[in-house]
Structures are given as structure tokens and as C-alpha cells.
A and B are shown apart, each in its own frame.
Chain A
């Protein structure tokens, strides 16, 4: 009885499949191949391609254009991303792009410093005959500066370790020592970042009024004071210093924000968000390091007498009148005919 029903069903299926027998040659061919191997596919569901075609398609399967998102029965939502093709772009950026960007920026900064030192030379000054000195940075200014400076150097070194360490240090140090140092460096980077951010915030509040651009800064730029030993009129900070200030404050804030966001769990911004944060953080860090290399040169060897402003806090009066005449006038009054200063009102 059962056998009869099965036979009838098979017959019906065969009848139903009859129109499919006039299929394109490719269909028939692969069907034959399958039958040869003892496989009897449902004729209505013939393979849509030959064996070779199928494996060619599988071999040519590309990454999806955008990430494939699904659902998971797990509380960790970021696991719902099945495939994220952006990872390949980020890999190229990380492995090749970052090293080139940082290498070029570091090279340009060092080259600029060498050119300045050779072509412009050291900017010397004559001291005030009476040895008078005036206060340039209060103790709190200097504390904020050095807190930010020390933390920036630590951050730059531990950060550059992530870019160049595997290539330059690991073969020389050995795996164990390099890994231990990198782990320590990562902890330092994550902790010291907060001191840096605090310093940048304090700078943004304390020094902003002295760093607003005025008409006189345009004169400074046009005089070419960075490249030649001329002294254009300048306020407490000349136009170049103001540029460094805004670069440090805006760049530092962006570095701080992206850095803190990267410390949060990945699910906060998602994997693609983390890739962008890391990219922005790295490129900005390269720019900041190049900027600060120039700043260090000008603040120490390049312009004689300027380091004392941040170490002792006071500067020679003649130095101040040469480099920042408008600031001296503003803070200590105009010079009377007898050479003394009349106090500002």
C-alpha cells in the first residue's frame, strides 16, 4: 500500500518535472555530473551553476560593501556585527599609513629645526644694563606648563612606541621585555592622558586672553620674523606663539576627547567608531609632536633668554622690550624720557 502511494508520488513528481527537461545545457550538464556521483537532485531544484562556476563564484566572493549586522542571543551587542569590511581599510592605515605619516611629520619637524638653526642661527640678546627683570609667568602658569609638558613627552614616547616599537625596538629588546615595556607604556599613556587634558584645559582658560589675534599679529607675519632676525612689534605672545597656543589647545582637546573615548568599552561607539577615533587620535598626535618639536627648539636654543621665562618666571627687561614691546608697555607703562617706566594706570 505504502509502496503504491510512493510510486504514485514519484510518478507525479516526474510529470511535474517534465517541463524542466528542456533546460539550458549548463543545467543538464551539472545534473549529469551529480547523477554520476550517485546524487539525484530534485529536478525542480537543479543546480544553478556548474561545478566550476560555483567554485569560481565562491573564490571571487568579495567583502560586503558595508558591515553585515545581525542579532545575537548575547548581552554584548557588538557581537552582532558578522563581517566589517572597514577592518581591512583600518589595517592598511595602521600598518602602512601611520608609519609613513608619523615618519614624514617627524622628519619634517627635525628638518625645519635644522634649517632654522643653520639659516637663522641663535637669536641672542643684550642684557639690561641695570639688570632689571620683569615677571613673565607666575608660579601657577609655570606649574601648568610643566605638568602639560612632562605628560606630553610621556604620552608622545609611549604613543610612538605603538607606531614604531614593533619595527624598531622589539627585534632589539626581545619579546618579553618589549611586551612588558609596552604594557607599562599603555598604562602610563592612559593615566597620564588625564593630567595632560587637565593642563590643556587650564591653559585654555588661563592664557586665552593673551592669545587672541589682533591687527598687530598680521604685521608680525608679514615681517617674516620667524625666518629672519627682525623684531616686529608683539604683544605678550607674538603671532607664532599664538599659533602654537591654538594648535596645542585645540589639538590637545581633540586628542584628549578621542583618547578618553578609546578607553571606554568598544560597544560604546562600536568597532567602526573606534577605528575612526584611533585614526584621528594618531594623525593629530603626529601633528602635535611636530609642532612641539618646533616649540621646544624655539623655547630653548633658538631664542636665547626665552627659557628663563618658564624656568625662573622672570625675564630680562631688555629682552622683553626687544621681543614683546607691546606687552612691556601694556603691563609696565611707557618709558619716560629719563629711561624709567611710569606705572600703568
Chain B
């Protein structure tokens, strides 16, 4: 299996928010939760850039490291998933995440945090099943259907790339060489700094020794 990654090319993102919308629609994400969002930097100023950001499925995932109930696992593809049956909604993963990916639905009228929700790389839940219950909790399991994340699939400018880290790194390298400027793959090295494909290496298999600290795997 390949080590899958996300890559957002800030030179190409036109802030259309299609990825945000299709994600909410595909997975029936609850009110107030956005698994993916488009952040615009220097909005309205010279040098404006937009970046589509969600969980980057980090190699050494901070969320899994700080979780007090150890509810995360990383699949052999490198996808970071969490069990909503174990999650207690403490909020620690949001404090640790560099990209602000974890989201919490309001559980009570005092707006206490419910069980965390985040991007699953369209891989469903940690149980890797395709049941209606799993769909309600985690959304659709497109990987099981042989499909890649829908956000990248609908991206009209192909700013957002998803798939084998080695392949999308090659595509991105071609682009940067062709246009000759703008090597801004936001968060790429923060998320995959210890991963072999971060610098376009040959090995695109998720490294065994970089799984979550508890050694959980799907």
C-alpha cells in the first residue's frame, strides 16, 4: 500500500470552497463542523493566497500523542483515524494539532464539547466497515470503494491533490518547475517531516516504526 497524503498548491487555489461544501455533503457532517476549510491569507492585499486545509494525516501525529484515552490509530496507508466510541471530547487534540483540524460538536446546552470529528481521508471509521452506523459516525468510506478523497476529486483547479505521496509530490514538482515559482505546499513538511516521501524519495510505503505511539493500526 502507498503512503497517502494531501497537498494544497496555494498558487492554484481560487477559494471556491467546493472542497468544503462537497465534504459536508458527502459525509453529512453535523452542524457547526467543518472537516475541511479554505483559509485566505493576506485577504484583499498583494500576495493573497488561499489554502484548503484539513487533517493532513501527519506521520508523527500530535493528536494521537496527546490523547488521554489513546483513541487514534494510523492505517498502513498513513491515514489517521480515531474511535468515536473511545473519544471523550477533552479538546487536547485541538490544542496540539498544528492545522486546527479536530472539531467538536456542541454536546449540551452549555456548549460542552462532544466527541471529536475530523477528516477521515474518506476512509470511514477505524473499524474499516461500511455500515450505516459507521456512516453516521465517520462518513462515507470511499477508500473501500476504491476512490480517493472527494475534496481533491472535485477541485476545479487541481490545487488540492490527494493520493500516493510519491505521485502527488512528482506532480507538484513538475508544476513548480514548469511555472518556476511558488513552492508553497502549506504544511507539507510540518505534517510529513519524518516521512521518506517528504523530499520525493523512492519509498512511498508508510514506515512501520512511525505508526502512532501505542502501535495501534488498522
Which chain A residues have a beta carbon within 8 Å of chain B's beta carbons? Answer: 30, 33-34, 37, 39, 41-42, 45-48, 51, 54-63, 68, 70-74, 76, 78-85, 87-88, 90-91, 94-95, 161-162, 165-166, 170, 175-176, 178-179, 182-183, 186, 190, 262-266, 271, 274-275, 278
The CA of A94 and the CA of B185, in the complex, are separated in Å by 29
Interface pair B39/A72, CB less than 8 Å apart: yes
Query: What are 25 A-to-B residue pairs whose CB atoms are below 8 Å?
Result: A30-B177, A37-B174, A39-B174, A45-B179, A47-B176, A47-B177, A54-B176, A54-B183, A55-B169, A57-B183, A58-B183, A62-B189, A72-B38, A74-B34, A82-B39, A94-B95, A95-B65, A162-B90, A166-B70, A175-B83, A182-B69, A183-B88, A264-B111, A266-B91, A271-B100
Q: Which of A48, A87, A170, A266 contacts B70 (CB 8 A)?
A: A170
The CA of A166 and the CA of B173, in the complex, are separated in Å by 42
Using A45-B181, A76-B34, A183-B88 as known contacts, say yes or no to A87 and B98 having CB atoms under 8 A apart: yes
Using A39-B178, A72-B39, A186-B88 as known contacts, say yes or no to A166 and B68 having CB atoms under 8 A apart: yes
Identify which of residues 39-74 in chain B touch chain A, using a CB-to-CB cut-off of 8 Å. Answer: 39-43, 51, 53, 62, 65-71
Interface-centre pick from B92, B174, B177 (highest chain A CB count, 10 A): B177
The CA of A178 and the CA of B169, in the complex, are separated in Å by 41
Give, as a whole number of angstroms, the nearest-CB distance from A166 to chain B: 5
B145 within 8 A of A: no
Give, as a whole number of angstroms, the nearest-CB distance from A122 to chain B: 39
Give, as a whole number of angstroms, the nearest-CB distance from A187 to chain B: 9
B200 within 8 A of A: yes
The CA of A142 and the CA of B106, in the complex, are separated in Å by 39
Interface pair B112/A58, CB less than 8 Å apart: no
Identify which of residues 182-218 in chain B touch chain A, using a CB-to-CB cut-off of 8 Å. Answer: 183, 185-190, 198-200
Using A48-B180, A59-B198, A82-B39 as known contacts, say yes or no to A87 and B95 having CB atoms under 8 A apart: yes
B150 within 8 A of A: no
B96 within 8 A of A: yes
Which chain B residues have a beta carbon within 8 Å of chain A's beta carbons? Answer: 17, 20, 32, 34, 37-43, 51, 53, 62, 65-71, 83, 85-92, 94-100, 104, 110-112, 169, 173-174, 176-181, 183, 185-190, 198-200
Interface pair B177/A54, CB less than 8 Å apart: yes
Give, as a whole number of angstroms, the nearest-CB distance from B178 to chain A: 5
Give, as a whole number of angstroms, the nearest-CB distance from B125 to chain A: 15
Interface pair B41/A70, CB less than 8 Å apart: yes
The CA of A79 and the CA of B87, in the complex, are separated in Å by 21
Interface pair A94/B177, CB less than 8 Å apart: no
Give, as a whole number of angstroms, the nearest-CB distance from A55 to chain B: 5
Q: Which of B71, B96, B100, B180 contacts A47 (CB 8 A)?
A: B180
Known: A80-B39, A95-B66, A166-B68. 18 other contacts (CB 8 A): A51-B173, A55-B169, A58-B183, A70-B40, A70-B41, A70-B42, A70-B43, A72-B40, A73-B17, A74-B37, A79-B37, A82-B100, A84-B98, A88-B62, A179-B69, A265-B111, A271-B94, A271-B100
- Collect the chain A residues with CB atoms within 8 Å of residue B179's CB: 41, 45
Interface pair B178/A48, CB less than 8 Å apart: no
The CA of A262 and the CA of B42, in the complex, are separated in Å by 30
Interface pair A78/B40, CB less than 8 Å apart: no
- Collect the chain A residues with CB atoms within 8 Å of residue B190's CB: 61, 63, 83
- Collect the chain B residues with CB atoms within 8 Å of residue A55's CB: 169, 173, 199-200
